[in-house]
Amino acid sequence: MNMTEALLPKSYHAAVERWRDFYLPDHGFLEASWEKHFPREPRPKLCAWRECGMCGVVECGERKGEAKYERVAEMPEEQARHLFAMIRAQASTEFGSIQQHQLTLSRARDEEEQVWVLRMMADELRHGYQMLHLLVEDDWSAATGRGAADLVEEILSIRTGDHVLGAFNVDFDSFVDNIVFCALIDRVGKYQLAMQRVSAYAPMAESMPQMLREEAFHLAAGVVPMRRWVERAARGSVEIGLGMLQKVLAKWVPRGLEMFGDERGGGSNVRWGFKPTRNAEAQEAYYQELGRVVRDLNLRYLRARLPGLALAEAEALLARLEAERGSERGIRFEELLRLPHREFFRRRGVPAFRMVGLDGELFTDREEYVRHLARVLPESYLAGRDFHDYLQQLDRVVRGELEPGKAAAQSPSLRRVGGVCPCSRAVRWVVDEAAPSAGTTAV
């Protein structure tokens, strides 16, 4: 690997450190535990890394074969605004993920799993830092009408409920959310980063390789514990059963699918060379990959339930259970995990607010559909604000008061009255270097 390393200007770097101290107070524990859990891995570093020697010509779109943009000023204003929105959204997801994970991090039942998630959070902080570096080192004022300080301040001030993508506005209810989120939602991140690796804006493309390398660990932080859980459940553990995992899958799979954007969109990204594939194509590849993840978990469950079962035998047994939906060798189809239908519980995109069940069944009665959701979603999620807001918007769509496409845009945000620290109401992250005593936290 041949990379360059850079830091934000002093005031912005300090702002990110203050943000870290506020939303990631366990960072010190990660540092103290690093040698125990990751003895051969380099410690996290708060910096921006760029890959050297990458392709210097546009790889897709109308300008394919031409030199990539090195500065924002080189591209048309409309494209610059579009690219800024992409970088802002990426930064929002990185910082937003940390805010979500912090809610239930302390509920981990296993220290290793907890530290793995902490390492993932430290990586997300660096990824957010990387996006801020893109906005600070170049001049985006013509596209945004704002200076670097305002852009950094705005991004660091976003809280759960106000993030660009809906998946990052959903509260975690238990540490199971932490793990399943890594396995499912960070997998979307892998697709997004891989697509942006060919960006026509060279600094963006050069930022992706190291982020992708770090993203690989994030997926492992989700998939490996899930594998352990299904095997323990097969051996009789009642701590985390497949029924619980199924409900958490139902909570997150729809949000992951929505992160790719409307299935009819993505043409501008391809045309301008920012991504090589449209939304629907990337979403389909993601959904197929989720199917393979669920299949792997089910095979591990079967082989743990029936010790000595060869892989080929387990695959044949799984195929019969899925085809016949019956039972065999003491195992019922209902015990296994199922990938929710791609249109289930969607509030954005083509299937928005269609009353589609977990397995793709269609509902025409609102009450019956809501009872179905209550059966297949986690009880703790049903009691929260996100589900309540969904039902309110669904009612308006069912009554014909609101078109499905407009319902998501009008979904209310969950405004916080406090953060990780209960005494806080607001935080100003960027302070004048000439007046460092202006504070880290202002009430």
CA distances from 117 to 24, 90, 179, 225, 255 (A): 12, 19, 8, 11, 20
Q: Give every CB contact of residue 171 below 8 A, 6+ residues apart in sequence.
A: 100, 103, 160, 384, 385, 386, 414
Q: Give every CB contact of residue 277 below 8 A, 6+ residues apart in sequence.
A: 195, 266, 270
C-alpha 132/C-alpha 91 separation (Å) is 7
pLDDT tens digits in sequence order for the chain, 443 residues long: 799 999 999 999 999 999 999 999 999 999 999 999 999 999 999 999 999 999 999 999 999 999 999 999 999 999 999 999 999 999 999 999 999 999 999 999 999 999 999 999 999 999 999 999 999 999 999 999 999 999 999 999 988 777 777 778 888 999 999 999 999 999 999 999 999 999 999 999 999 999 999 999 999 999 999 999 999 999 999 999 999 999 999 999 999 999 999 999 999 999 999 999 999 999 999 999 999 999 999 999 999 999 999 999 999 999 999 999 999 999 999 999 999 999 999 999 999 999 999 999 999 999 999 999 999 999 999 999 899 999 999 999 999 999 988 887 775 544 444 444 434 434 567 765 533 333 332 22
- Residue 372 near residue 363 (C-beta atoms within 8 A): yes
Radius of gyration of the chain (CA): 23
Count of C-beta atoms within a 10 Å radius of residue 72: 23
Let me know if 103 is exposed, middle or buried by CB neighbors in 10 A (0-12, 13-18, 19+). middle
At residue 23, the pLDDT reads: 95
Tokens standing for residue 11: 């005031």
Q: Is 205 helix (H, G, I), strand (E, B) or coil?
A: helix
At residue 411, the pLDDT reads: 58
Tokens standing for residue 403: 């078109």
For residue 46, how many C-alpha atoms fall within 13 Å in the half-sphere facing its CB? Answer: 21
- Residue 403 near residue 397 (C-beta atoms within 8 A): yes
Cα of 167 vs its chain's centroid, Å: 6
C-alpha 427/C-alpha 16 separation (Å) is 12
For residue 269, how many C-alpha atoms fall within 13 Å in the half-sphere facing its CB? Answer: 25
CA distances from 270 to 158, 200, 211 (A): 29, 10, 21
Pick among 1.10.620.20, 1.20.1280.290, 2.40.50.100, 1.20.120.550: CATH of 3-277:
1.10.620.20
At residue 431, the pLDDT reads: 63
| pTM listed for this prediction | 0.91
